[in-house]
Amino acid sequence: MKRYWPYLALILLAILPLVGISSYTMHVLILVIMWSIIGMAWNVLGGFCGQVSFGHAAFFGVGAYTAGILYHHLGISAWWGMPACVVVLIAVSLIVGYICLRLRGAYFALATLALGEVCRVAAENMVWFTQGNLGILIKERTWVGKTWYYYVILLIAVGSYIFIKRVIASKWGYYFVAIREDQDAAESLGIDTTFYKTIALCISGVLTGIAGAFYMNYMGYIDPGIVFSLSDISILTVMVVMVGGVATFGGPTMGALIMVFLAEIVRSTPKIGAAHQTIFGILLILIIIFLPNGVVGDFRKIVKFFKPKRTRA
């Protein structure tokens, strides 16, 4: 039975727009799926390879700007950004990898944190290229309704899910986990750790970038403060995976579901809307203390907690 769960869920998701749900629900669903792609991408690098990144906004933003700049400067459809950003992001990942992957653990995390900020500052200051804080606006949207956007992002999500599952099941996946568990041991066994970390970074970067390019097409407007945002993109990415479950396949999706809905609920509540980051922060702290492997990873713990405890006879 468990084998069929993914297919069932997929069919359910595929027929969902046909039922006729509201445009707002559709929007939230699209965001959930987009975030689960970003979460899955982060999970390859952070969860499986053990390299925690606080700078995924850099990849997201570069993807979005690739699409936006193609539209703005060359006048072609922003959808071309998706194939284009694969090339751009591999290049970016190689450069980032060359610099940052010399670092370990917390230093890598911080280097990526700085990277995200640098991208934001660069995008703000290179006005001739990126329009600076003015942002890039797509004047004509491809589709008026949200249904097609939904199918596009769903297709990308399914594609990335299968791709990631294949990669993790392959030789590479074992190398990634070996690097996470003990880098020195992995190296002594003949794994070229820097090379495989760079591969993980490329996969992660490209998938995040594709999500970014989709964001550009879907939202129709980007500016550096939105797509390179530290708290709204980079840290939310980490939270999606932490809440859902590090190094699990279903975790990012679960995390995206929880986080996006939570964000929508909190932001629309008038009194506490401004404090949404406080709530996220407290949630993050609680998750780390009580469910360090996320909702999916620590599912047994949750079940055990809610099961009525047997009283001693």
Partner 1 sequence: MAAQVELFLQTLIAGFLLGGLYALIGLGMALIMGVMRIINLAHGDLMMVAMYLAYWLFTLLGVDPYISVFVVVPLLFLFGCALQKFLITPVMKVESILPHNQVILTVGMAMVLSNLATVFFTGNYRSTPVNYASNAWYLTDYWKNAPIELSLSMPWSLSFLCAFIITVALWFFLTKTDTGKSIRATAQDIDAATLMGVNTNRMRMLTFGIGSALVACAGCLFIPIYYLYPALGKQFTNIGFVITVLGGMGSTEGAIIGGMILGIFESMTATYVGMGWAPLGRFAIFVAALVFVPGGVASLIRRKRFGK
- Chain positions contacting partner 1, by CB under 8 A: 46-47, 50, 52, 54, 99, 102-107, 109-111, 113-115, 117-118, 121-122, 124-125, 180, 184, 230-231, 235, 238, 242, 246-247, 274-278, 280-282, 284-285, 288-289, 292-293, 297
Cα end-to-end distance, the chain, whole Å:
36
Minimum CB distance to partner 1, residue 245 (Å):
9
DSSP for 152-195 reads HHHHHHHHHHHHHHHHHHSHHHHHHHHHHH-HHHHHHTT--HHH
β-strand partners of 137: 221
Tokens of 85: 């950003």
Cα Rg of the chain, angstroms: 20
How far is Cα 295 from Cα 306, in angstroms, rounded to an integer?
14
- Residue 17 or 245: which CB sits closer to partner 1? 245
- Residue 81 or 116: which CB sits closer to partner 1? 116
Q: Which residues does 118 contact at the CB level (< 8 Å), separation at least 6? A: 58
Reference 160, options 215, 218, 219, 203; nearest CA is 203
How far is Cα 217 from Cα 229, in angstroms, rounded to an integer?
18
- Residue 70 or 119: which CB sits closer to partner 1? 119
With beta carbons less than 8 A apart as the criterion, state whether 45 and 101 touch.
Answer: no
Minimum CB distance to partner 1, residue 212 (Å):
21
Q: What is the DSSP letter of 308?
A: P
With beta carbons less than 8 A apart as the criterion, state whether 146 and 29 touch.
Answer: no
Minimum CB distance to partner 1, residue 216 (Å):
23
Minimum CB distance to partner 1, residue 35 (Å):
18
Minimum CB distance to partner 1, residue 154 (Å):
28
Minimum CB distance to partner 1, residue 72 (Å):
21
- Residue 72 or 276: which CB sits closer to partner 1? 276
Q: What is the H or E stretch that residue 289 is in? A: helix 276-290
The tokens 């899955």 sit on which residue?
A: 40
Minimum CB distance to partner 1, residue 169 (Å):
18
How far is Cα 156 from Cα 224, in angstroms, rounded to an integer?
24
- Residue 45 or 67: which CB sits closer to partner 1? 45
With beta carbons less than 8 A apart as the criterion, state whether 78 and 68 touch.
Answer: yes
- Residue 215 or 228: which CB sits closer to partner 1? 228
Tokens of 117: 């900020």
Minimum CB distance to partner 1, residue 124 (Å):
7
- Residue 218 or 280: which CB sits closer to partner 1? 280
- Residue 107 or 305: which CB sits closer to partner 1? 107
